[in-house]
Every structure is written in C-alpha cells, then in structure tokens.
Amino acid sequence: MMNRCGLLTPEKEPVPLKSIEVELEVRDHVATLVSTLLYENKEDKPIEAVFVFPLPGDAAVCHFSAVIGQTQIVAEVKEKQQAREEYDDALSSGQQAFLLEESDQSPDIFSLSVGSLPPGESASIRLEYVTELAVQVDDGLRFCLPAVLNPRYQPQGSEGSSVQVTSVPASLVPYSLSFSARVSSPRPISKVESSCSLDPLQYLNAEKTQATVKLAAGHKFDRDVELLIYYTDAHQPTAVVEAGQASAKTGTVMGDLMVMLSLYPEFPQSGMSSAASCGEFVFLMDRSGSMDCLLNNSNHQGTRVASARDTLLLLLKSLPMGCYFNIYSFGSSYEHMFPKSVEYSEKTMEEALKKVEEMTANLGGTEILKPLEHIYSQPCIPNQPRQLFVFTDGEVGNTKEVIDLVKKNSGSHRCFSFGIGEGASTALINDLAKEGGGHAQFITGGDRMQPKVMQSLRFALQPAVQDVSVTWDLPKGVSATVLSPPITALFQGQRSLVYTQITGQSSEAAEGCVTVKYSLAGHLSQNQLCFSLKSAEETGLTVHRLGARTLIRSLEMEEREHRGQQVGGVKEKVVELSIQSGVSSSFTAFIAVNKSDGKEIQGPLVRRNVPAPSEYYFKSTPEPPRDPLLQLVSLQKASGCWLLDAALAAALGKTSEEVNQEVWATVLALIWLHGFKTDAKEEWELLAMKAVSWIHAQNAQCMTECVEAANTVLGCKVPKDALGL
C-alpha cells in the first residue's frame, strides 16, 4: 500500500509541488515576473504532475525552463499540436518532458505538465512573463498575481472541452508562496499598498525612485496578491524606445526598434462641459450561485450580490433625467426588468429599485453570451448612446466567444466591466472593456464596489470621442508600423498604450513626433508627444515582447472572425510570430525534453493533479446593517430632490418636527453629505450635482439663510460655495 504522507489533494493524493517563489521587477508601468516552482517526487513510482493555474490575461509568457539535478533545459515555442506530440513521444520513450500551454477557452489560464519525474527526484521550473500595469481610479498602478482559480462554468453545448481544474479551499493549499518586488521609475515612488500584509517599503536611493517590498512572513496563499504602486506626478505621456534583438533580422518585429507610447489625453474644457445628459444605460448583473459568496474573507461587507444591489441603487439615483435604462440579470438563464429600455423617471426608477431589492444569486451557472446577444438585438435609441455595464465574478468558460461578440458590436455601444471578488477572469473583464471601448475595474480584498463603479459612470457620461487618428512625423527613411489595434476610446486622464515598430536607420540625435487627433462633442482636438529615437538602456526585450503579444492577440481574434472562411495564413502568421518572439499564443506551446542522461525512466507513469486555490467564502453571517449613506441616497427622488418626511429625518438623525419642504430637505441632505461623508465623495458626487441643479431650477429665495439653518440643525460648518449654490 502506498505511503500517504506529506501533502495531499482532496482525492488524498500526494502533491509534488512544494513551493512557489515569485520575483517581480516593475519599471514604471511595465512588470516582469519570474516564478520558480519547486517539484519533488516523494513517491516510489515516476509521476506526471499537472498544474492548471491563472495568469494575468494580457501577460506575455516569454521564458520557460527546468533544472533537474545539474541539468538545465530551456523550452522552445512550437506549434501546439506538434509540442503535445513531442511531449507524449518523450513520455512514452521514458524521457523527462515539460509542457506549458495556454487554455483554448481563455488566455488567462495555463496548464503546466511535468512529465516523468523519477522517484526521489526534484525539478525546479522557471516561468517568466511580462505585463502592463493597469491605471486605477486613484492613479495607482495595479499588479495582480492571480493565486485563485475558480472553476469556470462551461455553457451548455459550447465547443471545446472545459479546463479541468483541481481546486481546494484557499486555506488548505499544500504549497508555500514567497513574493518580493523591486520597483523603479523616473518619478519618485510615493507608496506601495497591497491586499496582503507587506513588510515596510525599503527605498534604495535618496531620490526614492527605486524601492523593494515583499510579502510579510506567514502569508497564506489564500488570495490573489495585489500590489498598488503610486508614483508622484504619474500622468505623464511617455515614449520608451527599445533596441531590437541583435540576432533577429532587420525588418522583423524583434529585429527593429520598438516604441511603447503611453498617452494621457487632456480634453479641452469646452468639450467636457457638454457631459452627456442623455444615453441608454444597460446594467447586466451576474446572479449565478457564486455571487452568494462573501465579497472578501473578512466578512465585513456581506455578499457579492448584496454589494451589487447597493451599487445599482447608487447608479440608478445618479442617472440624468431624460436618459433611458434597463437592467438584465443572468445565470444559467437570463431576465430583463423591462421588455426594452425605458425613459428614466420617478416612476420607472422606483419600479426598478423595488425589483433590485429582491435580487438574489439564484440563477445557477454563468452564461453571459445569451443576454449579451439579446441586448445587441435591441435597436439603439436615436441620440441616446448605449452604455453597457457588466458586473460578474467572471467564472465564465467561453471567454473568447463573449469577447468576439462584444467586438462585433463595439460600434454601437461602450462597455464598462467589473470583476467582483478573487479569481474573476482578468481576460474576460479587461477584454470586455478593451473591445467595447470602455473601462475595466476589479473589486477585490477590502475594496468597496461603489466608488469604482461611480468612476466608470463618470466616464460613461463623458461625450464619446470620435474619429481618433494617430499620425507620425519621423526622419527621412524611417517608417512606423503600429502593432496595437486602432484607438477607438479615449477618456480624460486615462492612459492609452500604443506599440509601434520603427523601421529604417536614423542618426543618434534623431527625434520622432506622434500626434493624436480626435473630435470631442464636435470640437477637433489634438495632443502631441515628441521623443528621442535613441533606445533606452536596460529594458531587455520587454517592450518587444509586449508589442508582439499585442499583435498576436489581434491576429488570433481575426482568425476567429474568419474561421470557416477561406482566409489563409492568419494562424500561420501567429505561429511564426510566436516562435520568432518567444511569446506564447493560443496556437503554440512551450516544450522541453531532457535528452541529456539518456537513462530511460522505468515503470508506469502516475498522474498527479496539483490543486489551485479556489475562493469560496459563503455567507455565514447576517448581512451587515445598511450604511447610513445608502439609506440617505435611497430616499432621493429621480429629479434630484429629497422630500421632508420621517424617513429623511431618521436618516439625518433628527426628528420630523425639525424638517419641512423639498428645498429645505434637499439642502439638509447636501449639508449632511458634505459634512459627514467627504471620504465617500466619489460615490455621491453625481447625485449631489443633480440635487444642486434641481435647487437652481426652483429659483429658491433666501439660500444663504437656508444653508446656515441646515448647518445649525446638523451641527456642521459647510460653506454655501462648497455646495455649488
């Protein structure tokens, strides 16, 4: 009988993965991650260890190698089927082999197979990837090491087999994680925060442009590791120029100069003042069973679905009069509140809020494709631009199909996406926004959903930018090939990245200029960035790999669009580019075979699945009491005013004798928000603006006295100017 000692999976099988060590290098807004996985076979027979795990959806995996004893084997990128066959052949002939491949369904799931690890043998696997860091609402840059891989729901009748994930509750993960990061930037690093406990930030120089940080001792591998990095004065347009690979041919993606442009458009105030008071707002809410999990494992915030209900309340109160809206919810099936989008009024808002209050996570699996198809089948309302808000914990199996559908309909709407809780698919959430010309947000750890969603509503209320063009002014004999998809969406203060291959020779002192032109609310605008064509020191090939990854993703999407048609060569182009750049794709895999010692490994191979942490904090405590802010918000009328009644008096902590009339009630509510809830201003700012507009429309007299009296009643000192009155 086999000895059942050591680390065990749910099936009581030993786990050969002992530890994961992660080193992160952040340069400005690009990260390189090196992960070392240590395997050990303590059994008496050779094993094959298979580990299915998440990576950021836009990561470019660019290195995979293994060390066994004194031997290092570096994997090569090959066409996927060929790599699988070589792996199988090696195992059947008694050789050790290693295979790393991206899931066919979703680019943020990888499978690592360590084949023929002999009894008593250890193997150290090194995996490297590069990724861009997303800009958050508060200008922080977000890096996430996804630890948690929740099983992805495979819709009925969809093609392709689902990824088989072996998972255990995160607290029972049988291997350890150590994590350290080194950050460097041209601008000082003001702070680094995390959802996990960190040791204090260590600065490496007086200018504070270099620092190291690591996870505090005793970290449990029970959640994604999220780092938020803040630089002073972060919003600067930049161009990073990187020299080509010496061994690559000139004229190829890897052989030429590569430029990564970070553009931060500054919109003219004339265009911004026409912030949309119209639009069709469609909210698509995940009500699958997993939305009944707690938002995080600290239990303070109730369930994901409860947080989503509170968020819908804020959204519905903040919409402008005269717009249109509808609310869809989905699980294994889907439903909509109104047969088609309705005009926003007191009546329709109240009707919607009643139904929102009753929403529970009772709709089964996560099938998002059908409701999206239904939304897109509805004709758009003239002069009401469609804005789609998608809320999901992202446990979707058919990610690529969903993204393709959004891209196909990107001309008719903007899509804003929200990933709720640990383990939400980064590929799904980021690509919904990228292809839908919107903005993506992740709600994890102790985050509140509401401020992030209100930031996206502000973006949605910005007029859509049209006719974006990027033009280059380069020295004679030098040309630019843009590898990124055309920019279709721009938002005030948000970064757009553009990767460009620069072909041709220029002098050391040569300069290039790039101009972004666009039309905003009928006004033509432009932003310009000039930069030196001299390559930066020490960037390695990071920018080239990210550029190659961007082009690979675009080509993969093109291949899916034309599948079944006789459009030749796209898949071949992806395979060629993937092999040339050493960056993974959906059509290639990394394969390494140990041919060094020539000893055959004897005996039948036993498969061991390494479990990934999964993240289910089910509801075990009563829902927390309703937040006073949300209590006050729930009483606001669609027009922006509050009514003076016992409920408002209670929300303000007063008796109803102390209050009367709508203007007076509305001023009181505004004073309370400014006096007691400044820390949550981004959540109530839009509905307060609506209230101020309503007061102006009433031509109310004696506002100075009214504000003074309200301050006295509530014990505040909010000046009239601060209210916008």
pLDDT band at 521 (very low <50, low <70, confident <90, very high): confident
pLDDT band at 587 (very low <50, low <70, confident <90, very high): very high
Would you call 369 exposed, middle or buried from its count of C-beta atoms within 10 A (0-12, 13-18, 19+)? middle
pLDDT in tens, 314-373: 999 999 998 999 999 999 999 999 999 999 999 999 999 999 999 999 988 889 999 999
Higher pLDDT, 464 or 211: 211
Task: Please check the confidence at residue 675 and state whether its pLDDT lies above 70.
Answer: yes
pLDDT band at 3 (very low <50, low <70, confident <90, very high): very low
Pairing of strands 612-614, 122-132: unpaired
Name the residue type at position 561: E
The counts of H helices and E strands in the chain are 16, 34
Pairing of strands 606-610, 47-54: parallel
pLDDT of residue 160: 53
pLDDT of residue 330: 94
Rounded mean pLDDT of 112-122? 93
DSSP 244: P
Would you call 564 exposed, middle or buried from its count of C-beta atoms within 10 A (0-12, 13-18, 19+)? exposed
Residue 354, classed as helix, strand or coil, is helix
Task: Please check the confidence at residue 298 and state whether its pLDDT lies above 80.
Answer: no
Would you call 646 exposed, middle or buried from its count of C-beta atoms within 10 A (0-12, 13-18, 19+)? exposed
pLDDT in tens, 185-200: 999 999 999 988 999 9
DSSP 14: B
Q: 506-510, 609-613, 653-657: which range is least confident on average? A: 653-657
Higher pLDDT, 153 or 287: 287
pLDDT band at 294 (very low <50, low <70, confident <90, very high): confident
* pTM: predicted TM-score of the whole model, two decimal places: 0.88
Distance in angstroms (rounded) separating the CA atoms of residues 187 and 233: 7
Distance in angstroms (rounded) separating the CA atoms of residues 568 and 63: 29
pLDDT of residue 722: 93
pLDDT in tens, 76-87: 999 999 999 999
Task: Please check the confidence at residue 592 and state whether its pLDDT lies above 70.
Answer: yes
Rounded mean pLDDT of 225-242? 89
Name the residue type at position 372: L
Distance in angstroms (rounded) separating the CA atoms of residues 41 and 477: 58
pLDDT of residue 669: 95
Q: Is the dihedral of CA 626, 627, 629, 630 positive or negative?
A: negative
Residue 263, classed as helix, strand or coil, is strand
Kindly state the tokens that stand for 498.
């553009």
Rounded mean pLDDT of 299-313? 83
Rounded mean pLDDT of 197-221? 92
Q: To which residue do tokens 């698919």 refer? A: 425
Name the residue type at position 538: E
pLDDT band at 218 (very low <50, low <70, confident <90, very high): confident
Average pLDDT over all residues of the chain: 88
What's the angle, vertex CA 256, arms to CA 251 and CA 258, rounded to 5? 135
C-alpha gyration radius of the chain: 27
pLDDT of residue 725: 83
Task: Please check the confidence at residue 16 and state whether its pLDDT lies above 60.
Answer: yes
pLDDT of residue 7: 61
pLDDT of residue 101: 96
Distance in angstroms (rounded) separating the CA atoms of residues 161 and 220: 32
Query: How many residues in the chain?
Result: 725
Domains and CATH numbers, the chain: 17-151+163-235+581-614 (2.60.40), 238-271+466-482+501-569 (no CATH), 280-461 (3.40.50.410), 628-723 (no CATH)
Pairing of strands 141-145, 238-242: unpaired
The Cβ of residue 19 has, within 10 Å, a number of other Cβ atoms equal to 15
Residue 545, classed as helix, strand or coil, is helix
Higher pLDDT, 389 or 289: 389
Task: Please check the confidence at residue 603 and state whether its pLDDT lies above 80.
Answer: no
Maximum CA extent, the chain:
94
Distance in angstroms (rounded) separating the CA atoms of residues 554 and 570: 10
Task: Please check the confidence at residue 653 and state whether its pLDDT lies above 70.
Answer: yes
Rounded mean pLDDT of 304-314? 90
Rounded mean pLDDT of 200-228? 90
pLDDT band at 2 (very low <50, low <70, confident <90, very high): very low
DSSP H helical segments within 189-303, as ranges? 269-272
pLDDT in tens, 531-575: 999 988 777 899 999 999 999 999 999 998 887 665 668 999 999
DSSP character string of 126-194:
EEEEEEEPEEPTTS-EEEEE----PPPB--TT-SSPPP---EEEGGG-SSEEEEEEEEE-SS-EEEEEE
Name the residue type at position 55: L
Residue 428's φ and ψ, nearest 5 degrees, are: -65, -50
Kindly state the tokens that stand for 483.
């590898």
Residue 372's φ and ψ, nearest 5 degrees, are: -65, -45
CA distances from 567 to 159, 273, 559, 562, 723 (A): 21, 46, 8, 7, 60
Task: Please check the confidence at residue 626 and state whether its pLDDT lies above 80.
Answer: no
pLDDT of residue 5: 39
pLDDT of residue 340: 96
What's the angle, vertex CA 568, arms to CA 562 and CA 571, rounded to 5? 75
DSSP 226: E
